[in-house]
Amino acid sequence: MVPESCPVPTLPGVVGERMQQIVVNGIVAAAVYVVAGFGFGLIYRTATFFHIAQAAIIAVGAYGTYWLCVGIGFPLPVAVLLSVVFSAIVGACADQAIFRPLRRRGASPLVLLLASLGLYVVLTNLLSMAFGDSIKTIAWGRVEEGWRVFGARITTVQAMTIAIIALLAVLSAIAFRSTKIGITLRAVADDPELAGISGIEVDRVVLVASAVGSGLSGLAGILLALDLGMTPMMGLNVLLMGVVAFIIGGGLKDMTGLVAGGLFLGLSQHLAGWLIGPQWQYAMAFVVLIVLLLLRPKGMWLSQSHGSLA
Amino acid sequence: MEYALHILMMVCIYVALGASLNLVAGYAGSPSLAHAAFYGLGAYVAGLMSLRLGSPFMLNLLCAVGFSAVLGAIVRALTMRIRGDHFIVVTLAFQVVVFSILYNWVSFTGGPMGLSAIPEPTVFGWLVSSHADFLLLGLVYCVLTLWVCRRIANSPFGRVLKAIREDEVLASAAGKDVAMHHVLIFMISAGIAAGAGVLFAHYMCFVDATSFTEMESIFIISIVIIGGGGSSWGPVVGALVLVGLPELFRFLGMPTSVAANVRQMLYGGLLIVFMLWRPQGLLGEYAFGGTRDSR
């Protein structure tokens, strides 16, 4: 989308407004990446493997909401809540059925990753069989042109997305600092073996992390689906974007790093989309991922200081 | 009859893809999810050259293999410092970028429309046109690939690869250039995959980017894993099982509308099952770091 070829805006001040719209869209995208990155990071740090199947769970959340809301007719907030819970259950069941037995046998991270890859394929195809491959949207309320904020338009969904992230950031900061499960999670993330010796049931902590992480992945999928619609394959891009945000942000400490990473990614992606065309947005982000991993081959999160979920 | 020949042709292509990925994943021990990207690049180089330049098949094959091999060498050399499971993530990202370029660069690759009317190849004056002709060509390529892979596996070079797979530090302490071995084998592997892509493009007369998605990469790595990583016959068994079984389901009356999904669920499910109970695959010797029991 080169600005010159756009037919409508020739009025003065439009370029400034478009820049504001890019910023708003970038922030909304960032919010989704932060949720996905947080869910991924929670599992990555406790279970210590790259859980690609989270990409499918992102889509599970979206389609769960679609089915409950459009198929059965539940009110949207109820459908969203139930789908988040359902995503969490799917993640927990997968951990119990596949990853816990593998951990018990001392499987390498590579074996866990390949098993997760298999799960991704199975779940994605189940969704594709049940709902088809075409884009589905959840139409709710009347179509609105959105509120005007600093000259940009923002829809209710987008505003809610940002509000949910803010709430989540505060809640998680409290949980990690002062609840028992938050502290044990940090202990396991720091050193699973030592945590086990100290009497923490590592398997249970990983189970909780898988459930919460999958719930968050589901939520990321729902937020994206409400804004842009869904396909069974939607999750992989979102997950990898979340991973990029997670790497840039350097972990989960108090989510400020993650939020900063998400914002950097979201804004640069939408800026790139405006400059060289929206179809290149994702390719750009993956190039960023590759470059980041080249610069920090062990991943940024592993070289961070100990003692926190960073 | 043509249907059976078509299935056999696809088996040949996937044996070549599986055998070449096995070099990297099974022998050198660093699985990649970018194999469909190199396969696709081979197909597109051949398609574009024969459509735009009208160049002969053998030249297309040479250029496609060369292009993918050089690109593979560059990718592997750049990612040398990235170890273990992070390498898989980078190859997955590379795969998505290549797909995105093939799909979105409409003016050059045709984008979602793909490339159509790719001419039938002529190999040393022999016009390959019928299904049987193509199968013969596919068989030659497949057998050649298996022979090359076996030669590599049994050579001193192959033994060093296995040593690197088992213990990289030990191998480099013994004076072996680990990086050079990784780059070289990745280059060979990418080149062979591109050759399979050239065959595919000329055989189908049509290519589009959706044949070379990350799902295809997962399918190829499944062939390697289920057949058995680090076994020279593993990819043959893997390809026969994973290409053959879904066709069997079709005979049992499975509706075509769900055939693609069932095919993918089959290899996804098998991947989980094998990781749980037999990470070294049916014939393999390498279990991807394995479990405590299999080490």
Domain spans in chain B, listed from the N-terminal domain onward: 2-211
Least CA distance to A281: which residue of chain B? Answer: B100
- The yes-or-no verdict on residue A298 having pLDDT over 80 is no
Give residue A89's pLDDT band: very low, low, confident or very high (50, 70, 90): very high
Which among A232, A261, A220 is positioned nearest to A244, based on CA atoms? A261
Using a CB-CB distance cutoff of 8 angstroms, which residues of chain A are in contact with residue B291?
A: 102, 105-108, 111
Which among B145, B148, B170 is positioned nearest to B160, based on CA atoms? B170
The tens digit of pLDDT for each residue in B282-295 reads: 887 777 776 655 54
Which amino acid, A224? L
CA B295/CA A241 separation, integer angstroms: 35
Question: Quick check: B109 contacting A, CB < 8 Å?
Answer: no
Mutate to test the interface with B, among A40, A44, A50, A108 (most CBs of B within 10 A): A108
Give the residue with greater pLDDT, B7 vs A154.
Answer: B7
Residue B198 pLDDT: 93
Give residue B262's pLDDT band: very low, low, confident or very high (50, 70, 90): confident
Mean pLDDT of B223-229: 89
Question: Quick check: A293 contacting B, CB < 8 Å?
Answer: yes
pTM tops 0.90: no
| φ, ψ for residue A154, nearest 5 deg | -135, 130
Q: Would you call A125 and B268 a contact, using CB atoms and an 8 Å cutoff?
A: yes
Mean pLDDT of B193-205: 92
Strand partners of residue B127? B122
- Of A98, A107, A293, nearest to B291 by CB-CB distance is A107
- The yes-or-no verdict on residue B257 having pLDDT over 80 is no
Q: Average model confidence (pLDDT) for chain B?
A: 88
The tens digit of pLDDT for each residue in B215-225 reads: 999 999 999 99
The tens digit of pLDDT for each residue in A249-295 reads: 766 666 777 888 888 888 888 888 888 877 787 787 778 777 777 77
Q: Average model confidence (pLDDT) for chain A?
A: 80
Residue A280 pLDDT: 82
Residue A81 pLDDT: 92
Question: Quick check: A234 contacting B, CB < 8 Å?
Answer: no
CA B66/CA B42 separation, integer angstroms: 9
- Of A112, A282, A298, nearest to B100 by CB-CB distance is A282
Q: Would you call B81 and A290 a contact, using CB atoms and an 8 Å cutoff?
A: no
CA A100 → CA A91, B78, B235, distances in Å?
A: 12, 35, 29
Mean pLDDT of A107-121: 91
Mean pLDDT of B82-98: 85
Residue A12 pLDDT: 39
Strand runs labelled E in chain A: 147-149, 152-154
Give residue A218's pLDDT band: very low, low, confident or very high (50, 70, 90): very high
CA B61/CA B145 separation, integer angstroms: 14
- The yes-or-no verdict on residue A140 having pLDDT over 70 is no
Q: Would you call A280 and B264 a contact, using CB atoms and an 8 Å cutoff?
A: no
CA B136/CA A252 separation, integer angstroms: 56
Give residue B10's pLDDT band: very low, low, confident or very high (50, 70, 90): very high
Residue B65 pLDDT: 95
- Looking at the complex, report in whole angstroms how far the Cα of residue A8 sits from the nearest Cα belonging to chain B: 25
The tens digit of pLDDT for each residue in A157-215 reads: 777 778 888 888 788 878 877 888 888 888 887 777 788 888 888 888 899 999 999 99
Give residue A151's pLDDT band: very low, low, confident or very high (50, 70, 90): low
- The yes-or-no verdict on residue B75 having pLDDT over 80 is yes
CA B213/CA A254 separation, integer angstroms: 36
Question: Quick check: B96 contacting A, CB < 8 Å?
Answer: yes
Q: What percent of chain B shows pLDDT beyond 70?
A: 98
Which amino acid, A8? V
Domain spans of chain A, in order of start: 31-303
Give residue A9's pLDDT band: very low, low, confident or very high (50, 70, 90): very low
Q: What is the 3-state secondary structure (H, E, C) of chain B?
A: CHHHHHHHHHHHHHHHHHHHHHHHHHHCCCCCCCHHHHHHHHHHHHHHHHHHHCCCHHHHHHHHHHHHHHHHHHHHHHCCCCCCHHHHHHHHHHHHHHHHHHHHCHHHHCHHHCEECCCCCEECCEECCCHHHHHHHHHHHHHHHHHHHHHHHHCHHHHHHHHHHHCHHHHHHCCCCHHHHHHHHHHHHHHHHHHHHHHHHHHHCEECHHHHCHHHHHHHHHHHHHHCECCCCHHHHHHHHHHHHHHHHHHCCCCHHHHHHHHHHHHHHHHHHHHHHCCCCCCCCECCCCCCCCC
Stretch among A68-77, A152-161, B135-144 having the lowest mean pLDDT: A152-161
> With a cut of 0.90, is the ipTM above it?
no
Stretch among A19-33, A260-274, B243-257 having the lowest mean pLDDT: B243-257
Cβ neighbour number for residue A201 with a 10 Å cutoff: 12
Give the residue with greater pLDDT, A85 vs B165.
Answer: A85
Length of chain B: 295
Residue A258 pLDDT: 81
Are B12 and B141 in contact, with CB atoms under 8 Å apart?
yes
Mean pLDDT of B5-24: 93
